[in-house]
């Protein structure tokens, strides 16, 4: 079992995301192979968790960026296959992202999680993430 950084867009990773992302959000649309290549080429980090048999059971993406207040990172789209939850896969993915963020010299690593994702929220608090009192807004171009 291992966490690995995806450095190349492959049909295997695209198929795994197509299977996993609807488990995160029913409206999530998996990236095409071209979208995946663009994401990786943009500098975004994508990590996957592979079991002993080579099956991809989880994924996490992270963006690194620099703004006037410093170097920051944000974790997005953390998902573990429903059948494999509770086995430490989410923790392995998140701690890998935390290490990568530390190595990149970030001031802060951000993530959001819906309140109904109780196990994920417990994990994030246990790993040292602090819940912020803030408003999150989204704008969607039509």
Q: Tally Cβ neighbours within 10 Å of residue 129.
A: 17
132 is a domain residue = no
Give a yes or no: residue 100 inside a domain. Answer: yes
Closest CA to 9 of 63, 48, 65: 48
Residue 21 lies in a domain: yes
What would the pLDDT profile of 75-126 be if each residue is shown by its tens digit? 999 999 999 999 999 999 999 999 999 999 999 999 999 999 999 999 999 9
Average pLDDT over residues 29-43: 94
pTM metric for this prediction:
0.94
Q: How far, in Å, CA of 37 to CA of 48, rounded?
A: 15
pLDDT confidence bin for 58, thresholds 50/70/90 = very high
Question: If pLDDT is split at 50, 70 and 90, which confidence band does 1 have?
Answer: confident
CATH of the domain at 115: 3.40.630.30
What domain count does the chain have?
A: 1
Note whether residue 88 is domain-resident.
Answer: yes
Question: 7: helix, coil or strand?
Answer: coil
Q: For the chain, what percentages of helix, strand and coil (3-state, to nearest 5) are there? A: 35, 25, 40
Expressed as residue numbers, the domain containing 86 is 2-126
């Amino acid at each position: 079992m291992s966490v690995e950084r995806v450095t190349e867009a492959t049909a295997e990773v695209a198929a795994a995301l197509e299977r996993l992302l609807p488990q995160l959000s029913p409206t999530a649309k998996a990236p095409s192979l071209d979208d995946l290549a663009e994401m990786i080429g943009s500098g975004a980090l994508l990590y996957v968790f592979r079991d002993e048999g080579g099956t991809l059971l989880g994924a996490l993406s992270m963006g690194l960026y620099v703004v006037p207040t410093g170097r920051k990172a944000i974790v997005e789209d953390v998902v573990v296959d429903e059948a494999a939850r509770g086995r430490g896969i989410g923790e392995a993915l998140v701690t890998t992202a935390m290490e990568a963020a530390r190595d990149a010299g970030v001031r802060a690593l951000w993530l959001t999680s819906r309140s109904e994702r109780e196990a994920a929220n417990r994990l994030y608090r246990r790993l040292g993430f602090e819940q912020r009192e803030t408003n999150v807004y989204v704008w969607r171009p039509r």
